[in-house]
Each structure stands twice: as C-alpha cells, then as structure tokens.
A and B are shown apart, each in its own frame.
Chain A
Amino acid sequence: MTRPGLMAAAVLALAANGVALVGVARNRAGEPRAELNLTEREAPLAWVGDENSGLSLRLEWAEPRRDWSEPGWFGREELEAAGFDCSLPLDAEGAELRYRKVLPIEAYAALEYDGEAWRTWLAAEEADLAKAEAEFRRGRLDARAIDWQRQRMKGIRVGHTRLFLIDVDREAARLRERHPDGSRTLVAHALVRLDYVQPWDEARKKQLPPFLRGSVESLLVDSLHVPRAQRATLGGREDQLRRSPVTERGPMYAVRVAYGSRLEPWIADLRSLAPTPH
C-alpha cells in the first residue's frame, strides 16, 4: 500500500475501532455503577427480521401515571434540572412560540425496579379495576367490558414491566446521589422533551392557563445485545417467546443487566425461570 490516502484510510479505520473498543473496555472496567436482576417482563426479546441471526433484548419501562391536564411529577423545576431553560415566564410575549420550538435534549433518567413507583402504579390499576367491578355490579358496565378489564389486570400482574421512570437530571452523578441503590435503580442516557401545554376546559368551554410538561421520549440505549454464549439459556425458544406475550404466561427468563462507568449496559447473566403459576 503505497498511496498516502490509502494508508490514511487504513490508519483511520484502525484508530476508530481502537477508540470504540477502548471505550467499551473502560465502561466495563471495575465495579458496575448499577446491576439489576430483571426478568423477561422488563427485557423482552426485541423483534428482528427473518435474515438476522442476532438476538437482543429491549428494555421495557413505564412512567408513573399523571393527568394530561397537569405537569405531574415532571414539571418546570424538573425540566430545568434536566437542562432546559425555562426562565421565560409563560405569560410573557413570545413564550408560546419559544417553548413550542424547543427540541428534545440528551439528559439522564433514573429508573427504579420493583419499587415504590411500580407499587403505586399497580395500586392505581387495581383501584381502577375495583371501580369497574362496582360499576359492573350496578349494571353500568357490560360483561364483555369487565371481562376485558379483568384479563388486562391479570396480564399486568404476571407480565407488566416493573421498571419505572422516577427522576431526570442533566448530571448523572447528581441523579445517582439522589438514588444511590445501584441494585434497584439504574441511571441511563435518555432523550428528554419539553411540551408547552395549554389545556382546554370542556365544561367551562375555555382555555386553562398553560404549563410546561416534561417527558422522557426514549432511552438512548434500550437494546441489549445477547452474546452467543448466553443464547443457550433460551434453548432455541426465541420464536415461541416472541409469539406469546409475556403478559399471557409470565416471564420465562431472568437477566442481570450491568451499567458501567459510561452508563452503557451489558447482559451480565441470563438464566431460565420456572413457569409462573396462573
């Protein structure tokens, strides 16, 4: 190889690979920042095309309930902590234009596994079912509707994710300080968005005062590659697992997910679970 351009291309390819692999090694060196024992409920198999022999798990997470007519747990203060500039008062001239033009930013999200957020959410779902049962007994709900709600709740109990978003910040360290338990809470890169909401009061037929509301659009890494060594655990049942949703049968495997110094995850362990009794 005598051409300088060719040598430059070869060196560049090697350097880029070197940078990427050193980054991986640094991420995985030392004690993981978080290590969570999840199940198929929180990490189901991701979809892949027919001609793709790779296998990955998809991190499944949920948000605490909140009413669309209020900011809930993710309001102006949290948006500022996440890195948005919310200093312009909402009633100032041009505020709507300015806030509507804001694009998503990269920040950090804390997700809690099988904690208070999940229990609160589950209790609210149970309360909704109890309310529906009462309506059914009073004859205000038909049998098909209540049956659908019962089936849904059954699915939630055995198969819904217990990984819940609980906090957001622009500093990962600050987030970890607030949620120090690395076996229950993971801190990950997330895409956070700001919405300018102007609710409409249908009863009084008037516009309510506007507010800012935050949400997490996605985790930047929500796919976990399954290395060949760990695939054996699934015993070739991938297609079967994909065909029947986890909410119908309960989780069939447990997965230990570790997060390193660069907050990039990997599968530390994957093992089979006994079928959930229904």
Chain B
Amino acid sequence: MNRAEAQRRADRIRAFRDELADLERDQVLALTAEQGGRLRTHQDALLQRLAGEFDIDLSDTQKQMSWGMRIASLLGAIALCAAVFFLFFRIWGLLGTPVQVGILVTAPLVALALTEFAARREETLYFATLAALAACACFILDLSALGAIFNMRPTQNAFLAWGAFALAVAYAYGLRLILAAGILCLAGYLSATVGTWSGFYWLSLGYRPENFLLGGALLLAAPELVRHRRCHDFPPIYRIFGLLSLFIPILVLSNWGGGSYLRLQDSHVEVIYQIAGFVLAAAAIAAGIRRQWREVTNTGSVFFVIHLYTKFFDWWWDWMPKYLFFAVLSLAAVLVLLILRRLRGVFRESAP
C-alpha cells in the first residue's frame, strides 16, 4: 500500500461512518452497542496505523492544510530552482573551468541525495518534492552551462536526458510534479526530433505545430502500454499532457494554416483542423465518460468550448454588436449545459 491508497482507505472509512450515522438517525440500520464498539475500535486502530505509517489526512481541516502545504512546496520548489540558476550565474565567472565543471556535475547528485534523505524522514514527500525539483533544475543547469562553457552546438538530445532524469526521479518517489516536468521535456525532444525528420533544424519545432502530434499520441498510449501498479496517479498526468499535445497544436493550426506541413491553401488547412478539433474533443469526452477518465472528459470539454468560441469569434466578432455576441456565447453555454445534463441523465439511468 502507498500513501495515496492509504488516503483513499481513510476517506472511505470517514464516508462509511457518516453514512452509518445517517442510517442510524433515520432508523434504517442500527448496530448493537457491542458491534458499534468493535467497529469503532477496529477503524480507529486502522486509521491510527495508516496515519502513523503514511502521514495521511484524517479530517477536512487536515486536508485543507495539506493543500496549503502542497502549494507552498510547489512555490518553494520553483523559487529554489530560480535560486540555483541565479547563484551559479552570479559566481561562475569567478571560478576556473575545472571548478565550474565539478560544481555542475556534482550538484544534481547532491540534490538527489537530499531528495532521498528527505523522503526517508517524511512520508508526505513535500520536502522530497522540493529537493527533487531542485535536482532536475541542477541537471538542466548542468548540461546547459556545460554547453555554454565549452561553446557546444545546441542539440535536442539534452531534452531526452532531462526528461529521462525527471522520469526516473518521479517513478522513484511517485512525484507527479516531477513526472509532469519530465513529460514536458520528452514532448519537447519528440517534437524536435519529428521536425528533423523533415530535414529542418530542431529549434524550428514551434513553426510546425504538427511536430507535437506524435508525442501527444505516444503520451496518450503510454499508460495503456505500461501498467502503473505502484504509481496509480500517474496515468491521468500522461493523458492530460497527451491531450494537451494534441489539442493545442490543432487549435493553433485551426487558426494559422500557414504553420502546417500540408501543402494546401491556408484556409483549407484551417478548416481541416477545425473539424479535427471538434471531432477529437467530442471523441475525448465520449472516451472519458466511457472509461471513467475524468481528466479526459474535462480536457475534451474545455477544448470543445474553446474551438466553439474561437469559431464564434471568427464569424461574428467584427459585425455583430458586442451585447449580441456575448448573448450568443451565453446561449451556447446554456446549450452545452443542456446536452451535458441529458448525457448525465442517460448515465444515471444506466448506472447500477
């Protein structure tokens, strides 16, 4: 059992106790004093054990505090990364080349050791997340500063190394934030590599948004290909970034046909990607509902609405009075709500 599973178990026990209290109040079910006592003793012991082993939250207040700690840890991690960068650039001119290289090579290893140290002392991993992100920042700084010191030609392979490093750390500790950082680096590497297949320089990747599509498809497929027995909360992160890598390029191309590999008139390319955007968003919503992937449904819905509103803007913004334009937008929102409510009703009827 890991921390997330322990938290889910504790949440279930709390929900069970609330429901049992309601049932007793409504006189539907009443446990004998002995049964109630045994149940409470068992659950209390279980909760105490889970809290001791995994440092989980046992109340809503604790949960709110945890969210606060999570946000503080994220902000702290970002600030620490910035501090690492600025500190190095502040002092590197005062150091000889061997010392510069020594610092750069050892910094990520020291940060990794700190991550392990923090993880052994604290089950919630707030400090470990901070140290892990610092390790990633040190490694990014390491390769980029080596490139600057030795005047090396930039290459997309650095993104592969950074992505693999972040993924290794993420899987070692089950850190979603680090996984997201690793996925971003790998998506950058894949997109740049796809661009080079067409003979273009890798840093031109942004000029052809289609370069990101293959990476997006691979990210979507990753949790289906690799089972996550230990890191149960990783597949949604893959799916979210996979969908973003598909939807954002499609959204860009549906408004900027000139950025496509397709040798068609810009307006034709835009129509193709507008249709693709609507179809893919609808497919994502359907797949999300069917497979119970909430993140897929939400991402699909957001992009469906963005595509819809972008089209409205294209068609009507210039000639329609503003009050009418926004009224149409609100009507469209009401229409989407009605459709989703109907769908929700259908799923409620089919639910056991």
Which A residues form the contact surface with B (CB < 8 A)? 1, 3-6, 8-10, 12-14, 16-17, 20-21, 23-24, 27, 49, 51-56, 83, 94, 97-98, 101, 103-106, 189, 191, 220-221, 223-225, 227-229, 231, 262-266
Contacts and interface: CB of A to CB of B under 8 A. Distances in A.
Determine the main DSSP class of B at the interface with A.
helix
Interface residues of B, number: 55
7 contacts: A6-B168, A14-B105, A54-B89, A191-B201, A223-B151, A228-B95, A266-B150
Interface of B: 86, 89-97, 101, 104-105, 108-109, 112-113, 115-116, 135, 139, 142-143, 146-154, 158, 161, 164-165, 168-173, 195, 198-201, 204, 207-208, 258, 261, 263-265
A114 to B, nearest CB: 22
Contacts of B154: 220
A-side interface mostly: mixed
A9 B95 contact: no
Given A17-B142, A20-B150, A54-B148, 17 more contacts: A1-B112, A3-B173, A4-B172, A5-B169, A6-B115, A6-B169, A13-B109, A51-B86, A51-B90, A53-B91, A53-B94, A83-B199, A105-B199, A227-B97, A228-B96, A228-B97, A229-B97
B135 A53 contact: no
B99 to A, nearest CB: 9
Contacts of B95: 228
B109 A10 contact: yes
B105 A220 contact: no
Contacts, number: 141
B138 to A, nearest CB: 9
A242 B247 CA distance: 46
A237 to B, nearest CB: 15
B204 A12 contact: no
A126 B193 CA distance: 47
Given A105-B199, A228-B94, A20 B146 contact: yes
Contacts of B161: 12, 16
Contacts of A265: 151
A13 B139 contact: yes
A107 to B, nearest CB: 9
Nearest to B97: A227
By Cβ-Cβ distance, the 6 closest A-B pairs, closest first, are A5-B172, A53-B93, A9-B168, A103-B200, A8-B168, A16-B161
A9 B154 CA distance: 22
A106 to B, nearest CB: 5
A104 B200 contact: yes
Contacts of B199: 83, 105
A12 B151 contact: no
Contacts of A51: 86, 89-90
Nearest to A13: B108
B97 A9 contact: no
B90 A17 contact: no
Nearest to B89: A52
